[in-house]
Structures are given as structure tokens and as C-alpha cells.
Amino acid sequence: MGASNLTLERMRQGRTQKEVARLAGIHKNAMNGIERRRLVANEAKRQAILGVVGGNEADFFEPSGLAK
């Protein structure tokens, strides 16, 4: 499986995982796990990340909270 849509969008914006995590108020390890589909993002984390990268939840996350 390739890079998540979230990873691709973050990279398109020229942002690092650390930067997005800091701006979203989550730990950088959580951001890494979410992007790599190893962690399921709860609603609060999903909304925080979307507040930084923009876009619609359906573009980046499965209904379960796993990154697409």
C-alpha cells in the first residue's frame, strides 16, 4: 500500500509531520502512526489535523478513522 492521502497532501503543502503535529496539538509519533495507517485517529485528532491541512474528512480518513 502506498502513501496515505494525508501524507501526500501534507507533502504537497511542503509541511513536515512534526509541523502538522505541532499545529494540530498532537504528538509527532501519533501523526506518524496515523499517516502510516498504524493508528486510528479519533474524531478530535481527525478534526485537529484537518484544521491544519484542510480538506474534507472523507478525502483523508475511512469512517473507522484509519487514514486512506
Domains and CATH numbers, the chain: 5-60 (1.10.260.40)
**Mean confidence (pLDDT) of the chain:** 97
Cα–Cα distance between 39 and 36 in angstroms, integer?
8
Contact partners, residue 1, CB within 8 Å, separation at least 6: 37
Handedness of CA 26, 30, 11, 58 (dihedral sign): negative
pLDDT bracket for residue 1 (50, 70, 90) = confident
Range 8-30 average pLDDT: 98
Interacting residues of 53 by C-beta distance below 8 A, sequence separation 6+: 6, 9, 10, 13, 15, 20, 60
